[in-house]
Amino acid sequence: MTEAATLVSYDEALIRYEPVIGLETHVELGTVTKMFCGCPTVFGAQPNSAVCPVCLGLPGSLPVASRAAIEYTIRIGLALNCSIATWCRFARKNYFYPDMPKDFQISQYDEPLCTDGWLDIAVEDQRFRIGIERVHLEEDTGKSLHVGGATGRIHGADHSLVDYNRAGIPLVEVVTKPVPGTGALAPEVARAYVTELRELLRALGVSDVRMEEGSLRCDVNTSIAPAGSDRWGTRTETKNVNSLRSVERAVRFEIQRQAAVLDTGGKIVQETRHFQEAAGTTTAGRSKEEAQDYRYFPEPDLVPVAPSRDWVEELRAALPELPAARRARLQADWGLSDLDMTQLSNADALELVEQTVAAGACAADARKWWLGELARRANETGTELAALPVTPTQVARVTELVTAGTLNDKLARQVLELIVAGEGEPDEIVAARGLAVVSDDGALTAAVDAAIAGHPEIAAKIREGKTAAAGALVGAVMRATRGQADATRARELILQRLN
Ligand SMILES: [Zn+2]
């Protein structure tokens, strides 16, 4: 069954409906060993080489919970202002799928390790407190690879391969409470939350948080209800959204799609949906009626987890500087405004700017290039800022060349574009492409003389003392040199000539 592709424009949808969002984020922990056995968690190893009887679920093998994974989870919970359970159990989640060799996954169900916290975020000049429902620990599944079909799915595949290296890798799931009251900012709030959470996890050193490699992935819940209604709408859950930009797009699309369904008298079906990266749309997956009953029960092979209060307090005392505190410190050092800082962190550019400043740039310049030219570039090509093929050191060098007068802003933009295009280091590009500002009088004089000869009426005004008219001649010089002239020097030469 195909769905109607009609959408309501975003602005219109927000006049009639109020969105509520929620996010479930899965984080692969960077522990040395798996969750319940001693197998290594290396990425990209030979398929089925990092396995043992426990993570293969062979009869008679017994799991032992990783202390490191529990410690990481408690640290995440503390950083998110959660309460840490004094006693909790793992649960067995039963389902049958080839990538889950023991036919169940060990997870946490009604007794999560961390509950009831919050994370503050800012979008534009508004602050939002995102409630955290729970943070729990579970194990990842293996990976199936369906070969020979056009879609990479099992339907139409010639045969399937399975790799159990990932089966048993510790995963933390961070679940928010429903977030109402965001209005039209819902997509940006969703993105800002994931950005902030990712920074927090990175600061804690518990995961490499690479969305593109799947070590951080999001399920995005979206519902809408008629404006002023005292009830929330039926929510959909968009699975495995794997970039910050996609988080924002998935929420925006769902709001527009659901508004179209409600506008035409339809009902929203509670279902999982899949985000289609290329189209920016979501498509229907399983509905609630088809959802499986996992028959959770307390995992009988594991002892309960009962972290001592002393240990929890030790972990709390040892938390590193968290992103909000770090931002406050950097803001003071850099002298940037609140809005500048919000923009930097929501564009995921804080780290990049910090490294650019460390490489010799001033903060205002670093901010300007990362949020200007480079953000535009990233947006055009649909990539994350940090994934652009340009380094903070290169950006710092470009700002130095501007400060030294070798480049003006226009030339600096071209140099950055060529770095991104893979043409090499800033100095090489300036030399190879002849992009430096022309300020030596010999080369400028010819262009100045041509500009004067080409605009006798302007030249006459300047001779009469109306020096403000010189701007028009400077413009002509800049055009003739395709932006490479040193504008200050050109103006000096024009005034000298016409004095
Ligand atoms: Zn193992």
Using the predicted structure, report yes or no on whether residue 4 has a pLDDT greater than 60.
Answer: no
Residue 217, phi then psi, degrees to nearest 5: -140, 150
Coil/strand/helix, residue 6: coil
Which position has the higher pLDDT, 379 or 499? 379
How many angstroms separate the alpha carbon of residue 38 from the centre of ligand 1? 6
Please list, in sequence order, all residues whose beta carbon lies within 8 angstroms of the beta carbon of residue 462, skipping any fewer than 6 positions away: 469, 470, 473, 494, 495, 498
How many angstroms separate the alpha carbon of residue 36 from the centre of ligand 1? 7
Q: Is the backbone of residue 360 left (phi > 0), alpha (psi -120 to 50) or beta?
A: left
Using alpha carbons, list the distances in angstroms from residue 450 to 88, 125, 213, 474, 493. Answer: 83, 50, 57, 11, 12
Using the predicted structure, report yes or no on whether residue 264 has a pLDDT greater than 70.
Answer: yes
Specify the pLDDT at position 382.
85
How many angstroms separate the alpha carbon of residue 298 from the centre of ligand 1? 21
How many angstroms separate the alpha carbon of residue 289 from the centre of ligand 1? 35
How many angstroms separate the alpha carbon of residue 303 from the centre of ligand 1? 19
How many angstroms separate the alpha carbon of residue 315 from the centre of ligand 1? 27
Using the predicted structure, report yes or no on whether residue 388 has a pLDDT greater than 50.
Answer: yes
**DSSP label at residue 371:** I
Other beta carbons within 10 Å of 306: 10
How many angstroms separate the alpha carbon of residue 139 from the centre of ligand 1? 11
How many angstroms separate the alpha carbon of residue 69 from the centre of ligand 1? 15
How many angstroms separate the alpha carbon of residue 211 from the centre of ligand 1? 25
How many angstroms separate the alpha carbon of residue 96 from the centre of ligand 1? 19
Q: Residue 285 is inside which H or E element, if any?
A: strand 281-287
Specify the pLDDT at position 465.
86
Specify the pLDDT at position 342.
84
**DSSP label at residue 257:** H
Contact by Cβ (8 Å): 297, 93? no
402: its two tokens: 């501007």
How many angstroms separate the alpha carbon of residue 52 from the centre of ligand 1? 4
Please list, in sequence order, all residues whose beta carbon lies within 8 angstroms of the beta carbon of residue 219, skipping any fewer than 6 positions away: 23, 24, 25, 26, 237, 238, 239, 240, 241
169-173, 322-326, 357-361, 484-488: segment of lowest average pLDDT: 484-488
Specify the pLDDT at position 359.
95
Other beta carbons within 10 Å of 479: 12
How many angstroms separate the alpha carbon of residue 97 from the centre of ligand 1? 18
Look over the chain and give the mean of its residue pLDDT values, rounded to a whole number: 91
pTM here? 0.78
Query: Closest Cα to residue 34, out of 109, 144, 140?
Result: 140
For a pLDDT cut of 70, what percent of the chain falls above it? 98
Q: What is the pLDDT of residues 408-466, one digit of tens each?
A: 888 999 999 999 999 999 999 988 888 888 777 777 888 888 889 889 998 888 888 88
Using alpha carbons, list the distances in angstroms from residue 241 to 130, 190, 247, 281, 447. Answer: 19, 12, 6, 11, 55
Specify the pLDDT at position 211.
87
Q: What is the pLDDT of residues 142-200, one digit of tens each?
A: 998 999 888 778 888 899 999 999 999 999 999 999 999 999 999 999 999 999 999 99
Handedness of CA 38, 41, 42, 45 (dihedral sign): positive
The residue-averaged pLDDT of 21-38 equals: 96
User: Pairing mode, if any, of strands 143-147 and 216-226?
Assistant: unpaired
- Cα atoms in the Cβ-side hemisphere of radius 13 Å centred on 137: 31
Query: Closest Cα to residue 19, out of 150, 164, 205, 183?
Result: 183
Using the predicted structure, report yes or no on whether residue 2 has a pLDDT greater than 70.
Answer: no
How many angstroms separate the alpha carbon of residue 152 from the centre of ligand 1? 28
Specify the pLDDT at position 329.
94
Using the predicted structure, report yes or no on whether residue 338 has a pLDDT greater than 70.
Answer: yes
293: its two tokens: 């009953």
Contact by Cβ (8 Å): 229, 18? yes
How many angstroms separate the alpha carbon of residue 58 from the centre of ligand 1? 10
How many angstroms separate the alpha carbon of residue 37 from the centre of ligand 1? 5
How many angstroms separate the alpha carbon of residue 148 from the centre of ligand 1? 30
Q: Which amino acid is at 446?
A: A
Which pLDDT band holds residue 370 (cuts at 50, 70, 90)?
very high
**Placement of tokens 């009251």 in the chain:** 181
Q: Which amino acid is at 311?
A: W
Specify the pLDDT at position 484.
81
How many angstroms separate the alpha carbon of residue 226 from the centre of ligand 1? 50
Which pLDDT band holds residue 1 (cuts at 50, 70, 90)?
very low
Which pLDDT band holds residue 5 (cuts at 50, 70, 90)?
low
Specify the pLDDT at position 291.
62
